[in-house]
A and B are shown apart, each in its own frame.
Chain A
Amino acid sequence: GENVEQHPSTLSVQEGDSAVIKCTYSDSASNYFPWYKQELGKGPQLIIDIRSNVGEKKDQRIAVTLNKTAKHFSLHITETQPEDSAVYFCAASMVNDMRFGAGTRLTVKP
């Protein structure tokens, strides 16, 4: 089955800096890669996703890149703000399976 590894497990940045979280997956059949943000006391919320026919996608300060050959994808957050502090999960899925990374706790220091 699919296996997703996520790094780093914790990340601390200064407000205004960029943050990058990386994930690798094992199954080349995976073709959908969403990212979720989980704030304290809430369920994960989708922030951006990318499909295997696209190499990069951007939404304001958030971008995701996908390297199918290397089987890795990354989340990039620019100009970080304190409200970006949360746990971020990557996931890799195919039609009949979805696996999550272990999560990255991002702290943005004001």
Chain B
Amino acid sequence: KAGVTQTPRYLIKTRGQQVTLSCSPISGHRSVSWYQQTPGQGLQFLFEYFSETQRNKGNFPGRFSGRQFSNSRSEMNVSTLELGDSALYLCASSLGTGGYNSPLHFGNGTRLTVT
């Protein structure tokens, strides 16, 4: 079974630009979660989608948004990029039917650098 795929692996953007990251979950998984990982803040939860609906949202500004398609693939978008948005963005998929009580399967992330 193929794992979680995130594209692109690396991105360099300029302040003020916007960016879209993509995540393809494991086949059969209906839940996709996004996390921001920085050295100082660890793994910070952004949002979770289940069957195309946002089911949960973390404490991030509205510049961070996401969506999920009918095939469970997900995208997240960050608008008006700031230097502090530089981070590793991780996507994780799970069956999702038990809420958060099932294992997360992470992709290898997208490394975003904002200059």
Contact = CB atoms under 8 A, between A and B. Distances in A.
Secondary structure class of chain A's binding surface, majority of residues: strand
B101 A46 contact: no
Nearest to A103: B42
A93 B98 CA distance: 11
A110 interface: no
Secondary structure class of chain B's binding surface, majority of residues: loop
Nearest to A92: B100
Given A34-B104, A102-B42, A43 B109 contact: yes
B101 A41 contact: no
Contact of B101 (A32, A99, A103): A32
Given A97-B100, A98-B100, A43 B106 contact: yes
B100 A44 contact: no
A36 B42 CA distance: 13
A48 to B, nearest CB: 10
Interface residues of B, number: 19
B101 A94 contact: yes
B108 A46 contact: no
A97 B48 CA distance: 10
A43 B100 contact: no
Contacts of B105: 46
Contact of A94 (B90, B100, B103): B100
Interface of A: 31-32, 34, 36, 41-46, 49, 51, 89, 93-103
